[in-house]
Amino acid sequence: MLAGGRSGEHEVSLASGAAVRDGLARAGHEPLDVELARTGAWSHDGEPLLLEPGGGLLGAEVVFPVLHGPFGEDGTVQGLLEILDVPYVGAGVLASALSMDKVLFKQVMAHAGVPQVEFRAVRDGEGDAAVAGLSALGLPVFVKPARLGSSVGISKVTAAAELPAALEAAFAHDPLVIVEAMAVGREIECSVMGNGDPVASEPGEIVLEGDWYDYEAKYTPGGMELRVPAPLEPAVRERVRTLAVEVFREVGCAGLARVDFFVTDEGAVLVNELNTMPGFTETSVFAKLFGASGLEYPKLLDALVGLALERPPT
């Protein structure tokens, strides 16, 4: 099991990793801890870990990379695990990289005809012309680094005068930024699990104490509530579950993912993003959604290990 990593989600990953380790042990597995330091160094039981191409990893049958954000969820570690020739839980190199890049993900979804909110990409240094082109999105908008997770570096912009500062804040994290129109409606999340024949969980609704789903709402106790099952009309519920599987397949995911949606007051279902390795404690959204679908946490982890062994290398 890999946890930690170089991204700003290091501590979140360690918490996910501790829960996964405990759950795997309860499922009858013998988990081995590998911690990735913020510097990028790998260690096991406090000792440096040297990696050799084709040499596996500590003799493990399967690696569970419980890593969030860049240098873990973006295809880099997945590529390394391919070189080590060891099966691993979750999406492969291409699907991981694609899903981590919010701009590319939305461009692929647009090509596939998947409904989503309007967006624009802005690169650092493009100047005032690019900023002027954002007016078509209206206000409010959300300004986000394109390749970070956990709502890091995101700003909600309610007045045009706020936009330059919001872009600069996002550029501090990533030279590519995505600006999204605000979707008025409810935030719905749906977990997906499988390889060739993925299945969707019961959808859940994110109910916020604050104005929007920022870092504090995600990781502060009481910042959000998850309602499972989400109080949706049956047709909307099935639309969410169908789209979740469709997006999972379109991206080329394997093992698991969580797909996030907006459901408007009119009942339209809009895809927001896909997370290939969402938070993974027993009380995280992914696990709670499948828990509501009848799959307990240890059995969920056991199933993911089985899917990793089934999936061919990518």
Catalytic site positions? 9, 150, 219, 258, 260, 273, 275, 279
CA distance 274 to 243: 11
Nearest-5° Cα angle at 6, 5 to 9: 75
152 vs 150: CA distance, rounded Å: 6
Enter the tokens of residue 91. Answer: 């999406």
Task: Report d(CA 309, CA 107) in Å as an integer.
Answer: 31
Rg (CA), the chain: 19
Task: Report the alpha-carbon angle 34-38-41, nearest 5.
Answer: 50
Burial of 204 (0-12, 13-18, 19+ CB in 10 A): buried
Tell me how far apart the alpha carbons of residues 223 and 161 are, in angstroms, rounded to a whole number. Answer: 29
Residue type, 26: R
Residue 154 backbone dihedrals phi, psi, to 5 degrees:
-95, 140
Using DSSP's 3-state secondary structure scheme, residue 205 falls into strand
Pair type for strands 2-4 and 34-36: parallel
Structure tokens at 182: 């605000």
**In the chain, what's the furthest Cα-to-Cα distance?**
58
Half-sphere exposure of 256 (CA within 13 A, CB side): 28
